[in-house]
A and B are shown apart, each in its own frame.
Chain A
Amino acid sequence: MTQEKDLKGYWKKNLQYLSILLSIWFTVSYGFGILLAPWLNNFKMGGFKLGFWFAQQGSIYVFVVLIFIYVYLMNRLDMKFGVNEEDA
């Protein structure tokens, strides 16, 4: 059934988005904010040491942006595969 195939494609694409977005999520928070923070602290942005800034400011901004990117991508994907709720 073509319907069945489409749904598989939708789920695959969804998982692909998830892995990309979650990699960014991990890199920014655990990478820049914790593991690489001591090294990033050698650089400065205004009065902020960069590692410190990522840990206490930057990561939070990135979290917000990631969610809105996900919303945008998924709404588009819903339309493309015809599973968006407006059609109901």
Chain B
Amino acid sequence: MDVQVWTYILVGITFALYIGIAIWSRAGSTSEFYIAEGAVNPLTNGMATAADWMSAASFLSMAGLISFMGYDGTVYLMGWTGGYVLLALLLAPYLRKFGKFTVPDFIGDRYYSNTARTVAVICALIVSFTYVAGQMRGVGLVFSKFLEVDIFWGVIIGMAIVFFYAVLGGMKGITYTQVAQYCVLIFAFMVPAFFISMQLTGSPIPQIGFGSTVTDGSGMYLLDKLDQLHKELGFAEYTSGTKSMQDVFFITVALMVGTAGLPHVIVRFFTVPKVKDARISVGYALIFIAILYTTAPAIAVFARTNLIETVSEQPYEEMPPWFSTWEETALLNWVDKNEDGIINYAPGAAIVGAPDIIRDGLDIRRGANNQVMISNEVTANNNELYVDRDIMVLANPEIAGLPAWVAALVAAGGLAAALSTAAGLLLVISTSVSHDLIKKQFNKDISDKAELRYARIAAAVAVVVAGYFGINPPGFVAQVVAIAFGLAAASFFPAIILGIFYKKMNKQGALAGMIAGLIFTLAYIIYFKIAFPELNIPENWWFGISPEGIGTFGMLINLIVALSVKSFYPDPPEDVQEMVEGIRYPK
């Protein structure tokens, strides 16, 4: 059977499973819809959190990105795991004790202010929408690459599935589908990794394999070999990277703190019964996440080595079949600059922009060596190879010559990762609207049933909006991750931490801090990423900090502004101070 048949079978089975779970776990009250009645087992919650957290980006793009960034990929590996320590130690247990439904709930009650609540709702909506659009895009991509379905229909199918279990089941439905999705995605991620590690190094465990010697008889360590290959081709050493130390530092802080401040992650810890469950649940979540995150850098090294060894300085005519398959999808391209028929791989971009394939009618135009011809402007350097980062995970099984079902598994895993994250985000959007806006601000006497109806309507609208952005992604979709994390770091994180650990923090201070952090971070990112992308080079950055890392700066501004403004206004009322006391003790 070929990859496509396998993909239909595996995707069909997993989708049927998700729908089955959704019907079984239908929500009947707002408490079930928002937090699954706060009755989720901590281990189950840990697994669901892992699926919630690991998105299409973690599954499909991260290993590929690291593969091209080498040491610099550390920012993602540490940044997207280290935040869980902050979550376990500084946030989850206290927010669980607080025991409401959402993050804006906490901000609004703690700072006794509906303005603060509204600011928190706006932040939650911006963060969640930017994030969810990327997930829908991921769903569309998997469908189009593996099933040859149009991106449009791919997104529609993905929307229909998420609609079904998020709108019907709410948090309860999402939790149990996420558990299933975690199992699918981790299996799909690990199987190719085991195989490839075995092939390259003889060790089945990728975490050990990429620090072992290669099996070609040279007795060389894999990483030394890769460093040497990089040196020969003129790339920076793989294990050292090219980013400046302060930029790596700032990006890592922004991603860690952003992780701990993302509402769809925080809200998962409202779903367990007790404070001690919330603590251990974060630990379980990080174990499940770490399985993928410690494997990803190994895959990155394997894929990088395989790629260089297969293509570099080799005649185009001897390329394996996958080369032309991916050429035709415009994710891979070779421009024969010196017309020698040999693929020269070197640093720098081979062409300007992404490949634009020339067609004569329906046929792809072919060059002298039968390569796919493109109309892009060619750059002046020696590099002749264009490789899309995403290809490293998608094509990895084929590059390593693994059986068809393994490649199909990657498709099912990518869908699981994208759908599970999308569902968690949609829930945040829907509760922000039905609970924090409608129930808390416009109509306080609303019945539970009516609130639940609004929650479902909001979820449905959010699915449609997310789908729209998935089909028509704004040009800056790749940049939005910086926005989501930057905003979470600069707005939520400091406000929540001060709220728990600084009893005398008042609403004026917190509000001023949140707004200052938010505006500063947004302005910096928009300036460099959207308004003037041509200025986005290290020489122009403040203190050498890239827009990805600026959230760290925003967080500091938030803290400084909050603490200074605070001193001009009275302490918070007695009952609020008592509430803060209360959340510090489990009982």
Closest-by-CB residue of A relative to B287 is A64
B572 within 8 A of A: no
- Contact across chains for B587 and A67 when beta carbons are under 8 A apart: no
> Residue among A11, A45, A48 with the most chain B CB within 10 A?
A48
Given A49-B239, A71-B283, also A25-B85 (CB < 8 A): yes
Contact of A29 among B82, B275, B276 (CB under 8 A): B82
**Closest Cβ–Cβ distance, residue B260 to chain A (whole Å):** 12
Contacts of A48 in B (CB 8 A): 211, 223
Closest-by-CB residue of B relative to A81 is B585
Stretch in contact with the other chain, from B107-115, B245-253, B332-340, B504-512: B245-253
- Contact across chains for B587 and A11 when beta carbons are under 8 A apart: no
Contact of B276 among A55, A57, A61, A85 (CB under 8 A): A85
Closest-by-CB residue of A relative to B210 is A47
- Contact across chains for B587 and A63 when beta carbons are under 8 A apart: no
B293 within 8 A of A: yes
Contact with B along A48-62 (1 / 0, CB 8 A): 110011011101110
- Contact across chains for B587 and A84 when beta carbons are under 8 A apart: yes
Contacts of A88 in B (CB 8 A): 587
Contact with A along B285-303 (1 / 0, CB 8 A): 0110010011001000000
**Cα–Cα, bound, A26→B41 (Å):** 31
- Contact across chains for A60 and B81 when beta carbons are under 8 A apart: yes
At the interface, is chain A mostly helix, strand, loop or mixed? Answer: helix
Closest-by-CB residue of A relative to B286 is A64
Contacts of B66 in A (CB 8 A): 56
**Closest Cβ–Cβ distance, residue B229 to chain A (whole Å):** 15
**Cα–Cα, bound, A51→B587 (Å):** 43
Contacts of A67 in B (CB 8 A): 84-85, 88-89, 279, 282-283, 286
**Cα–Cα, bound, A47→B222 (Å):** 7
Contact with A along B47-90 (1 / 0, CB 8 A): 00000000000000000001000010110011001101100111
**Closest Cβ–Cβ distance, residue B316 to chain A (whole Å):** 32
- Contact across chains for A85 and B275 when beta carbons are under 8 A apart: yes
Contact with A along B11-24 (1 / 0, CB 8 A): 00000000000000
> Residue among A10, A35, A67, A78 with the most chain B CB within 10 A?
A67
Contacts of A21 in B (CB 8 A): 85, 89
- Contact across chains for A47 and B89 when beta carbons are under 8 A apart: no
**Cα–Cα, bound, A34→B251 (Å):** 11
| Number of residues from A at the complex interface, CB < 8 A | 44
**Closest Cβ–Cβ distance, residue B252 to chain A (whole Å):** 7
Given A49-B239, A60-B293, also A30-B276 (CB < 8 A): no
Contacts of B245 in A (CB 8 A): 34-35
Closest-by-CB residue of A relative to B501 is A15
B274 within 8 A of A: yes
**Closest Cβ–Cβ distance, residue B89 to chain A (whole Å):** 6
> Residue among A21, A38, A70 with the most chain B CB within 10 A?
A70
- Contact across chains for B286 and A63 when beta carbons are under 8 A apart: yes
A41 within 8 A of B: yes
- Contact across chains for A55 and B74 when beta carbons are under 8 A apart: yes
Closest-by-CB residue of B relative to A59 is B78
Closest-by-CB residue of A relative to B225 is A47
**Cα–Cα, bound, A63→B293 (Å):** 12
**Cα–Cα, bound, A57→B290 (Å):** 9
B325 within 8 A of A: no
Contact of B290 among A14, A29, A63 (CB under 8 A): A63
B240 within 8 A of A: yes
Contact with A along B326-349 (1 / 0, CB 8 A): 000000000000000000000000
- Contact across chains for A87 and B211 when beta carbons are under 8 A apart: no
- Contact across chains for A56 and B212 when beta carbons are under 8 A apart: no
Q: Which of B85-116 contact A (CB under 8 A)?
A: 85, 88-90, 93
- Contact across chains for B89 and A22 when beta carbons are under 8 A apart: yes
**Cα–Cα, bound, A32→B586 (Å):** 34
**Closest Cβ–Cβ distance, residue B248 to chain A (whole Å):** 6
| Shortest 6 CB-CB contacts between residues of A and residues of B | A47-B221, A67-B283, A55-B74, A47-B211, A56-B297, A48-B211
Known: A45-B211, A55-B71. 11 other contacts (CB 8 A): A7-B584, A11-B584, A47-B222, A47-B224, A53-B211, A55-B78, A67-B89, A71-B88, A71-B276, A75-B276, A87-B587
